[in-house]
Structure 1
Amino acid sequence: MKNLNHWCCLLILAVLSPLVHAQQLSGELKKWHKVTLTFEGPEASESDEFNPFMNYRLNVTFKHAATGKEYLVPGYFAADGDAGNSSATSGNKWKVHFAPDEEGAWTYVVQFRKGNYVAVSDRKDTGVSGEYMDGATGSFQIGASDKSGRDFRAKGRLQYVGERYLRFTESGEYFLKSGADAPENLFAYADFDGTFHDDGHKDQLVKTYEAHLRDYRGGDPTWQDGKGKALIGALNYLASEGMNAVSFLTLNIKGDDQNVFPFTDYDTYDRYDVSKLDQWEIVMDHAQQLGLFLHFKTQEVENQGLLDNGGVGAHRKLYYRELIARFGHHLALNWNMCEEVGDWVKNNRTAPQFKYQKLAMAQYFYDHDPYRHHVVIHNGAPFYDVLGTESKYTGASLQTHHKNFDLVHPHTLKWLKASKEAGKQWAVAVDEPGDAQHSLVPDKDDPEHNLARQNALWGALTAGAWGLEWYFGYKHDHSDLTCQDWRSRDLFWDQCKIALDFFNALPFWQMENHDELLSTKDYCFAQPGEVYVVYLRTGGSTVLDMQTEGDFTIQWFNPRTGEYLKKPKKLTAGKVTLEAPKKGDDDWAALIKR
């Protein structure tokens, strides 16, 4: 009888063995750090007839015991679990990434469903059980973060808080950004896996970033025995210059470059290149540790109708789900629904998107991104149809089109005011100042960058923008499509760092634009009665109506060098005449504090 019971138990285990799940918890178990759960699930391949991306849905609900906080986090098919290094296209590993925002005990419950189109279904019981890890539970303990400095894990998640500036949840700091908007095809990189290298679509634009190999540091991440060093080095360089943002398209099929897409090939929109996306994640993870904000441009005007003719159907939902599952755990990012969106070009390459499609894209991220990251959209068409309290957009990604950048300041003011009057204050960033042909040109073409500094950099920040990203015009070397060396604008990054340092030393989140206090068409950014920044774009003088009384100090600041002139001087409030400290047409900033 004893032997019979033994063999019965073995038989039961054999029958149930497909249902037995194996799971692994990895990552630093600390607040704000990436925690990864890896499950052994069904064996699958990127090319299986039964599509593992569309026809399985892995969701994990994480709950914090003490606060009751819950996050429903999507997971994804991970091939062999190390595809970035192995280039595997098949395997039985499934992953979910989570960024815990509380210390202490967390529990989790796994749901794994199977059936046609379950990945894009919002029904909890869609399809049937996918077995394996379906129903698995577990727990883990999270400790305090040990990070400091620029690493975002020292600051917490960057979030829209209903104001003009984004704020870190851990440190409470408000954020100002400056960084590279170009090249938009940053991920058209030779060391990434994929078919884009030689598929006949703009293959000449694939990049090596050889100039940044010298910026790679020992101990930095790579993949496949040393690949990736040049792009990792490029990020190191940008951070070393004091910049804190980087922008990239994740889909540009039909666009100007046509080499960046998450799919297995140019013509397939529901099969994802697991190894390439793993390699993207290595780069993004390093960027976040360097303190570089991630600006995801999820599509551009040329391909706005590529998925579901512009609607939010099965292909677009799956695309967004994969982005959220693989990259949504990062702490400082925004989702940009489309660069240059709308029906405004003469000949659209794909169907243009209109009001309800634009609103539906933002709504999807609001409903499915567990962390509610900042969601923006880029003009093209103006933003009027997506303003208001019902819209899930939280900001604008603003583009202007004058060579001298003179639209930056007024257009920033325009959309800050329009969004507030519509009932929901947006955070506005200027992500493509200037025109398409020139914009931020290389140092060799304009080493002083006076107009970019005066009208765009200081123009945006004194209007109340939360930052800028810099586009490189196509009529110059290292353009938006061809840039392989960010040192081509080395002198200007210094000027951006000067401006960031200046404004970060102020309570900028309490300050607003008050150009009306000046007698000239210069810029005033102020918390009236407390602190004023008066920016004289081309020197000269102006009269500032401080609209208060009392004693203040004034100190002149050189935006070109980052130097203050002498010590602060006393100033009695009232209508005061401010004159640039030196003759000429150089720009100067007066800092006036109570």
Structure 2
Amino acid sequence: MNPRSAAPVCTRWLALLIALAPLAAAAQPHAVGLHRVFEKPLDNDKAYANKFTDVALRCTYTAPSGRAVDFAGFFDGDGRGGGDATTGSVWKLRFLPDELGEWSYKWSWSDGTPGGEGRFDCVAEGAGKGVLRAYGENPRWFAYNGTEPVWIKSYYETGHGSIAQPFDWITANVYQPLIDRGYNHLQVNWLMSLCCFGQYYLDGPEPSTQDLALYQDGRVESTMNLDVWRRMERHLGWLNDRNVGVHMFLGFEGRKNDGPKWDNLSDDAKDFYVRYSVARLAPYANLAGWNFVWEDPGDTESRELGWARLVQKHDVFDHLRTYEDEMPRDNEYQRPEYNFAAIENHHIAAPQNPLDLPYRKTPWTHHQACLIGYVPGKPVYMSEGNALWRRYWAERTGATQDDLRRAAWGCATAGASFCWNGHAKEYELAVRGPEGIPFYGDENPYTASAGYIDVLSDVMNQRVDFHRMRPDDSLLSGHDPFRVWCLAEPGKQYLVFATAGEPFQLTLAPGDYPSRVWVDAKTGETTAAPEGDEVPMPALTDDDDKPAEGASRRRFTPPGADTDWVLILRAG
């Protein structure tokens, strides 16, 4: 070839390759981390009277294993928080991949608008923890995907209107300090956003708006506030990237907080509301979990039970879903619509509220509520404990920080998780100072409580295999049952919490327990524990449970009465 004629040919080939490069890049599958959010925006500029309801976006995802999953897309206005029922042309597909490898997907429109298809790679790099569920081997506890146990360290973050404050300020001053202290779970009021928008962090920048209701009362199909969805998802997504679970406290029902009322929606509107919410939120693995609202009976078909049935129907990822029960003695958690329990300790000591009130701060009611709230296979989360919340309950019950610490241990020794709160006021929030979040130094008195929770978390994560243990107060004797509780894996490990150094006797399975330690529940300091003095086993009747052959009963006296003590015994 003539060298002079080769140059134009090479130039033409180079130009062709440059032209084809975008097509080649488009053909390459998008990479998404395992258990992270896959998202694809789609444009549909057809005119609809109501873009939320007049057309449905459907998609089938096919996993590397060949498993097919149908999951709907949703209308999102202009894709940036703008638009409404008649304006905007952006729809979105979102999905939560749970298998490594190449996924394919096909979408279609219910009105015959041409659909399409695509693929993406699900990769290990940047993988998330997955969906929080009951631990398959011991479902008193939670586990990622039901297989990786996790001790829930949860705080009640109460800023309804904080999603309108500068995002970077909230992440730096609220979320990051919690993460730095090991918190992996938050109970929040901004998901879903229905009320109380004047409650934001007053020592932070002013919010850009207080127009934060998701929709106008009774008109959910036509008045969705897409800017509010964008704000909620930005917070949820940031926490998802850091594997922090988020439990919605106020949930879908605004009637108790002067927000939009569930009862004002038709059956079709309720189905749309849940279906739309699931399409937007369920692809976030850290949704942990769905909640209708606080304090409902659990069996109301027109409210919490019907709502839970809709969530169960539409959420193909099977996130946690519940209702919050203030009367756990009469709970409805055996129903298949609920897959975990969110409880309070209000009505434990007596069925009538005036008799219960003096007992609401007692740690024993927290322990007992967690025990009776458990339905086999469905872990318990104390969403609202009267001694665990400084905000709202402390001033009503007179609960002290000692009560808070003991209530937390009462939940843990009942095989349950819990959240707590150190904010000072019911209707005003701050980040720093005596009124703020107790992670900024000694000026906030509840910094001490934050330390108590750290001690508890360290014990559960470092000193025992919590996920193998179950509550077993029947192993205790010679004690005040309102003050001493036991968590055990008989023959392997025992944990006993003793309020203010209360002595107790513990029945042990045969074997040696060379690892013995007392832990100060206030400071975390440890003291070697003796074997305990052996005491005679009591005479048993035919109706009594017989201990294992060779079992022994031993008496333990904590090192002192000026603090609470935790005894840990481990075999081998």
TM-score by length of 1: 0.72
Task: Work out the CA distance in 2 between the residues paired with 1:260 and 1:539.
Answer: 52
| 1:319 and 2:273 correspond | yes
Provide the rounded CA distance (Å) in 2 between the counterparts of 1:469 and 1:360: 27
Secondary structure in structure 2 of the residue aligned to 1:29: strand
> 1:513 and 1:440 mapped to 2: Cα distance?
29
- Alignment partner of 1:299 is 2:245: no
Give the equivalent residue in structure 2 for 1:498. Answer: 455
Match of 1:558 among 509, 517, 520: 520
- 2: CA distance, partners of 1:376 / 1:518: 33
Q: Unpaired runs of 5+ in structure 2?
A: 1-25, 200-209, 347-359, 439-443, 535-550
Q: Deviations over 1:398-431 (max 9, x none)?
A: 1123133431001111121xx23xxxx3211111
- The one-character-per-residue Cα deviations of 1:453-494 (angstroms, maximum 9, x if unpaired) are 11x1100000010x111256xxx8333664553235433222
Question: Are residue 340 (structure 1) and residue 295 (structure 2) matched?
Answer: yes
Q: Does 1:236 align with 2:176?
A: yes
Q: Secondary structure at the match of 2:176?
A: helix
Number of residue pairs aligned between Structure 1 and Structure 2: 480
Alignment of 1:74-93 (within 5 A): 74-83=72-81, 87=82, 89=84, 90-93=87-90
> In the aligned structure 2, how far is the partner of 1:392 from the partner of 1:447?
34
Give the Cα separation in 1 of the matches to 2:274 and 2:212. 13
2:415 alignment counterpart: 464
Deviation at 1:508, TM superposition (A): 1.7
Q: CA distance change for structure 1 residues 24 and 408 in 2, over 3 Å: closer, same or farther? A: farther
Which residue is 1:97 aligned to? Answer: 94
1:586 aligns with 2:538: no
Structure 1 residue 63, shift from structure 2 partner: 0.9
- Name the counterpart of 2:489: 527
The alignment yields a C-alpha RMSD, in angstroms, of 3.4
Q: 2:341 aligns with which of 393, 396, 409?
A: 396
Which of 247, 255, 267 is the aligned partner of 2:187? 247
Distance 1:495 1:27 in 2: 45
Q: CA–CA distance in 1 between the matches of 2:498 and 2:329?
A: 30
Please, which of 83, 107, 127 is the counterpart of residue 104 of structure 2?
107
Deviation at 1:559, TM superposition (A): 1.6
Tell me the TM-score normalised to structure 2 length.
0.75
Match for residue 425 of structure 2 among 475, 478, 482: 478
* CA pair 408-382 structure 1, distance change in 2 beyond 3 A: closer
Q: Contact 2:387–2:403 at 8 Å: present in 1 too?
A: no
- The answer to whether 1:181 aligns with 2:156 is yes
Equivalent residue runs for 1:137-536 within 5 Å: 137-146=117-126, 153=128, 155-161=129-135, 163-169=139-145, 172-183=147-158, 186-189=159-162, 192=164, 208=165, 227-233=166-172, 234-249=174-189, 250-251=191-192, 253=194, 262-265=213-216, 268-270=219-221, 271-297=223-249, 298-300=251-253, 302-303=255-256, 307=261, 309=263, 313-332=267-286, 333-342=288-297, 354-355=300-301, 357-380=303-326, 382=328, 384=330, 386-388=332-334, 390-401=335-346, 402-416=360-374, 419-420=375-376, 425-434=377-386, 449-454=401-406, 456-465=407-416, 467-471=417-421, 477-479=424-426, 482=429, 484=431, 485-487=436-438, 488=444, 489-505=446-462, 506-519=464-477, 520=479, 521=481, 522-536=484-498
Match of 1:542 in 2: 504
Question: In 1, distance between residues paired with 2:193 and 2:95?
Answer: 28
The AA in structure 1 aligned to 2:93 is V
Q: Which amino acid aligns with 2:70?
A: L
Q: SS at 2:569's partner residue?
A: strand
- Percentage identity across paired residues of the two chains: 19
1:333-362 Cα shifts (integer Å, max 9, x gaps): 21112211149xxxxxxxxx7256433222
Comparing 360-369 with 400-409, greater Cα deviation is found at 400-409
Supply the AA of the counterpart residue of 2:130. Answer: G
Of 480-489 and 290-299, the range deviating more from structure 2: 480-489
Work out the CA distance in 1 between the residues paired with 2:504 and 2:437: 37
Q: Is the 8 A contact 2:345 2:365 kept in 1?
A: yes
User: How much has 1:590 moved relative to structure 2?
Assistant: 0.6
Residue 16 of structure 1 corresponds to: none
Q: Which runs of 5+ in 1 are unaligned?
A: 1-22, 114-127, 148-152, 193-207, 209-226, 344-352
Matched, 1:57 2:56: yes
Matching residue's letter, 2:276: E
SS in 2 for 1:176: coil
Q: CA deviation at 1:382?
A: 4.9
Counterpart secondary structure, 1:53: coil
AA paired with 1:528?
P
- Mapped contact 1:312–1:357 kept (Cα < 8 A): no
1:84-105: CA deviation from partner (whole Å, max 9, x where unpaired): xxx4554211112112111111
